[in-house]
Amino acid sequence: MNTRLLTRALSAILLTAGLAFFLVPTQSAVFAQQSGSKDDLTPTFWQRDPDADFEDEGRMHCAPTAVSDGLIYLTKAYGMKRLVPGTGHKDQISLIQQLAEEFGTDPSIGGTNPDKILTGLRSYVESKGYELNRLELKSWRGVSSANKQFKIGTRPDLAWIRSAVGSKDAVVIFNFGWYHETDDGYERKGGHWVNVVGASGNEFIVHNPILPPEKQSDKKSVELTALGEDFIVSKDSGEANMKGYYEGEGPGLPHGDTVTAILDAVIVFSIKKQ
């Protein structure tokens, strides 16, 4: 091969290599499947994290935070790369903001009710190209006609809860109502959502978003005890007896001495794997 041909051949090789370097396609983030328990893989995000700058300092953002913990858990456990923006701190802030919009979380009216979570969760999951494999609610609280098929009972029961918590692919969210005693019984004044990551008998391990991360990792235990006596609650529709529902107590669920924490609602969901 003469010098001119050799020079042309080398130039062609270098040009091809250069184009290959600059034309390497960019790929979306891929989250590798991780091993570990629900407790280990579930975040401990603080809903009042000052970096998040949520409305009303995040006081009413417990629902989107608890659900975001569950979505990130599923992403880590099953490598669902499109389900969340990412698994880092800033990514979770973005995720919580998206979920708050989907849920219609409004601090001016006291946070998020179960019906809005069902509606928003369905919308969010579908927008990411996934399908819900399981979506169940047990609560005395009402739901819209579009969500009636997902309400499978009014009173949460321990066997169903323990089974769901023990399922690797299921996310379990508790809603405790804050009940205050009055002359005519009890009155519900707000409530709180937590993510459930473990169960043993009547004791449940939760990640409570009202606590800073270091306290969430340390104070996780909540014990459920069935109300054995009448527990009369005043509602707009009249009175209701919540005997048989569960009271929650433990370091994982701090609340005032004048408050009785009753397990009002439990949401269980899982997502079809692709």
The residues, ordered by sequence, that sit 6+ positions from 1 with a Cβ below 8 Å of its Cβ are: 9
List Cβ neighbours of 9 (8 Å cut-off, separation of 6 or more): 1
Residue-level pLDDT at 106: 87
Give the DSSP letter string of 225-273. EE--S--EEEETTEEEE-TTSEEEESTTS---TTEEEEEEEEEEEEE--
Mapping DSSP to helix (H, G, I), strand (E, B) and coil, where does residue 134 land?
Answer: strand
H/E stretch holding 34: none
Helices marked H in the chain: 3-22, 38-41, 62-78, 89-103, 114-127, 158-166, 213-218
pLDDT of residue 110: 82
**pTM for the complete prediction?**
0.87
The residue ranges of the chain whose pLDDT is under 50 are 1-7, 9-29
Residue 10 confidence (pLDDT): 44
At 107 the pLDDT is: 86
Read off the tokens for 111.
């946070």
